[in-house]
Amino acid sequence: MALGKYSRVDGRKSSSSYCSTVTLVVFVALCLVGVWMMTSSSVIPIQNLEVSSQDSKNKVKEQVSESNPSSENNDTIPKQFEDNPGVLPEDATKGGSHEKTQKENNTSQNSNTFENVSDSAAERNQEENPENKPKSEGASKTETENGERRTEDGESKMVDTDSEAGETRKDNSDGNSGIQGNPENDKKSDSGESEKKSEENTVMKQDGDKADGRIEVDGEAKDLLSNEVFPSGAKSELLNETTTQNGAWSTQAAESKNEKDAQKSSEPNQEVVYTWKLCNVTAGPDYIPCLDNLQAIRNLRTTKHYEHRERHCPEDPPTCLVPLPEGYQRPIEWPTSRDKIWYRNVPHTKLAEVKGHQNWVKVSGDYLSFPGGGTQFKHGALHYIDVIQQSVPDIAWGKRSRVVLDVGCGVASFGGYLFDRDVLTMSLAPKDEHEAQVQFALERGIPAISAVMGTKRLLFPSRVFDVVHCARCRVPWHIEGGKLLLELNRVLRPGGFFIWSATPVYQTRAEDVGIWQAMTELTKSMCWNVVKLTKDKVNKVGIVIYQKPTSNECYEKRARNEPPLCEESDDPNAAWNVPLQACMHRVPVDASERGSRWPEQWSARLEKPPYWLLSSQIGVYGKAAPEDFSSDYEHWKHVVTKSYLTEMEINWSKVRNVMDMNSIYGGFAAALKKLNVWVMNVVPVDSPDTLPIIYERGLFGIYHDWCESFSTYPRSYDLLHADHLFSKIQKKCNLVVVVAEADRILRPEGRLIVRDKLQTLNELESLLKSMHWQIPFKYSKDTEGLLCAQKTLWRPTEVETITYAIG
């Protein structure tokens, strides 16, 4: 609908003829566009008013309970996530009793209030600086105001182009196009913008090409360079001179380039920003710092609840770079990658050996191939997916059911094939050095994270998944009062389905029958309704489908309050380092509350502000929440179509796995809807908690703290997008740490797009260049900038041994 507003393309081609006459106007237009693009939209987390962040939620949580796994326990518990008994015998048993130790209001360390927030993080490493948040808020707010003010100053003519509010824009442009009173302005502003961009593009590309591989940049030269890039009226002529003649006066671009070339030739002793080293760790090229902290794992008192697969982030996050596997090649592109990947990229044969007979993975020549199966669907995931829908038509893949959680995902074929049904699947499995399931999934271009159902809540808000699926995931749902199943209950939408296909559903061995009985009892007491018990005859498996209630009626009617309802004070959305609890949250019934209704069908839900965003609430950018949401979406559609898709020399058909490192409403991901990509939306724990909104619109994401490493394998994303993230985390932790993490996550030749304050951007650029990254695109205006960087295959030669990761 809103696209029309940006489709006024007509004037663009002829635009250059206007240049000489209306330089001034163009200049003004450029300023405005620049300001709008850089600031307005991307102005971040300003208001924590209506949405509290994960950080603050935890605080509350932490006082509530801390699970204290008792170290001796006799129950034998099925292994989790594993199909194959041979692989991890030590995990085979885990304990049964979990007692909550502290629930007193006894205020010692643990009774944090909402205001006294920073403690929860104290267990971990960062967060020295509680004042940071307010400060950054202040800063960005000022900028918005500037932006707005400037817009106002900037002549009535320009109102149309891009004042900050999507709404305003819409109104104005409608008005204008209706009247057509001012066609010249229209044209000029549009053409101004595109022209400006392509010019910069050219400049930067040249610069990049010629200065390829240079290691350091003189700070001063950089500043001048960025000035150079910026439109002054005479810009185009100046640039022409640069390329055509090096006559009487040279341009800054040329000077800087020469300077850099000179520096390059006298390379070693120039100011090297940072000396990178290669990580020497036991996990080698598969290093995940928070999951491979072997020292912390050795010190665990117990591993009965899979503590050794949970996150244990090092106090001093590594700043070394992860080595490449031998023979690493650019990953095969989607959708071919769903069927086969390079063996050398993920050289783990164990899974192939073990699972070979199950038709998961095969080694064939240089490839690992995935015949489309999984243990539960040897004869085709698509068949299995369709059987599910036939048995419960309400599931309606790709309409009612859009966002799925797949627990213990194997190689994630289920999620991989659900793409064909317009369904987005978050797959999770524990990191396992033998099987590397999640690594296969990501290499295939299928979303997945390394996570375990252990002692802590999953890093998702409550009531966000339309469907939760577990095929033979071997999570012991029925034990310990159903604690783990109750966690699924937390993240499942009221009215959502739990699909379970595992041997207890359809086999008659004594163990299976026992588990089936326990599950039947448990799910009944949880008020889950058995919707269907069905068979996939082709794959020869049984499937049971439960539905979570949409009201509290059943809870209230239960003879025993078991499992208990959670305390009213228990925030179901608190998920960051929050211990699991064996209780159920009430279903929201108030019509204005999230969860009281099912979202719109896909894909209407992508564009509409959720019904529970109220105009009385203030959004992250300071407008009423629903407008905030909409203008964010308009903004990102604009940025993506005008800039990311066209101006950055990114070949999007090579992009598959995308991460938005600082999602607000998921607008960036929504704007990529038409592309063949998926986007992991990360909501930092110290940002307003907008993750439920992202899910409500049919996208997915996770909470994270960027001072720690992300639970993904190295080289798993093609593109990272960081909108005003680095300047923010810079205040919390060392930029080098975050840059090293970005390098770890990104595939060679992958891109990092950063929009941020110029100062941060310059620092970042030096760091990136010192890792031999290329900077094919750069743009800045006043204090704001945009940068697109590309990782290379370069690795350092020096080695740093990370002792806590040596085992």
Give the residues lining the site for ligand NAG (CB under 6 A): 72, 74, 104-108, 116, 237, 240, 280, 333, 651, 653-654, 799, 801, 806
59 or 169: CB nearest ligand NAG: 59
Single-letter residue type at 227: N
Taking the complex as a whole, how short is the minimal distance between the CB of residue 281 and ligand NAG, in angstroms? 8
| Radius of gyration for the alpha carbons in the chain, expressed in angstroms and rounded | 27
390 or 801: CB nearest ligand NAG: 801
Taking the complex as a whole, how short is the minimal distance between the CB of residue 461 and ligand NAG, in angstroms? 26
Residue 629 near residue 699, CB atoms below 8 Å: no
Taking the complex as a whole, how short is the minimal distance between the CB of residue 242 and ligand NAG, in angstroms? 10
> How many distinct helices (H) and strands (E) make up the chain?
28, 21
Taking the complex as a whole, how short is the minimal distance between the CB of residue 693 and ligand NAG, in angstroms? 30
Taking the complex as a whole, how short is the minimal distance between the CB of residue 348 and ligand NAG, in angstroms? 21
386 or 649: CB nearest ligand NAG: 649
Taking the complex as a whole, how short is the minimal distance between the CB of residue 106 and ligand NAG, in angstroms? 3
Taking the complex as a whole, how short is the minimal distance between the CB of residue 168 and ligand NAG, in angstroms? 36
Over 6-38, what HEC string results? HCCCCCCHHHHHHHCCCHHHHHHHHHHHHHHHH
107 or 592: CB nearest ligand NAG: 107
74 or 266: CB nearest ligand NAG: 74
How many whole angstroms separate alpha carbon 352 and alpha carbon 356?
5
Taking the complex as a whole, how short is the minimal distance between the CB of residue 390 and ligand NAG, in angstroms? 36
Cα–Cα nearest to 9, from 189, 168, 151, 182: 189
Taking the complex as a whole, how short is the minimal distance between the CB of residue 646 and ligand NAG, in angstroms? 12
Residue 745 near residue 684, CB atoms below 8 Å: no
Cα–Cα nearest to 741, from 105, 289, 397: 289
Taking the complex as a whole, how short is the minimal distance between the CB of residue 72 and ligand NAG, in angstroms? 6
Single-letter residue type at 483: K
325 or 698: CB nearest ligand NAG: 325
Taking the complex as a whole, how short is the minimal distance between the CB of residue 608 and ligand NAG, in angstroms? 33
Q: Which string of DSSP letters, residue by residue, matches 547-575? A: E--SSSHHHHH-SS--SPBPPTT--TT--
How many whole angstroms separate alpha carbon 406 and alpha carbon 267?
50
How many whole angstroms separate alpha carbon 306 and alpha carbon 473?
14
72 or 568: CB nearest ligand NAG: 72
Instruction: Name the helix (H) or strand (E) containing 686.
Output: none
128 or 237: CB nearest ligand NAG: 237
| Residue given tokens 């250059």 in the structure block | 16
**What are the Cα distances from residue 130, in Å, to 51, 292, 682?**
18, 29, 22
Cα–Cα nearest to 79, from 439, 324, 547, 432: 432
Cα–Cα nearest to 409, from 354, 352, 468: 468
Residue 407 near residue 468, CB atoms below 8 Å: yes
Taking the complex as a whole, how short is the minimal distance between the CB of residue 211 and ligand NAG, in angstroms? 21
333 or 512: CB nearest ligand NAG: 333
Phi, psi of 783 (to 5 degrees): -100, 5
Q: What is the dihedral of CA 42, 43, 46, 48, to 10 degrees?
A: -10
27 or 652: CB nearest ligand NAG: 652
294 or 639: CB nearest ligand NAG: 294
Residue 463 near residue 494, CB atoms below 8 Å: yes
How many whole angstroms separate alpha carbon 138 and alpha carbon 143?
9
508 or 651: CB nearest ligand NAG: 651
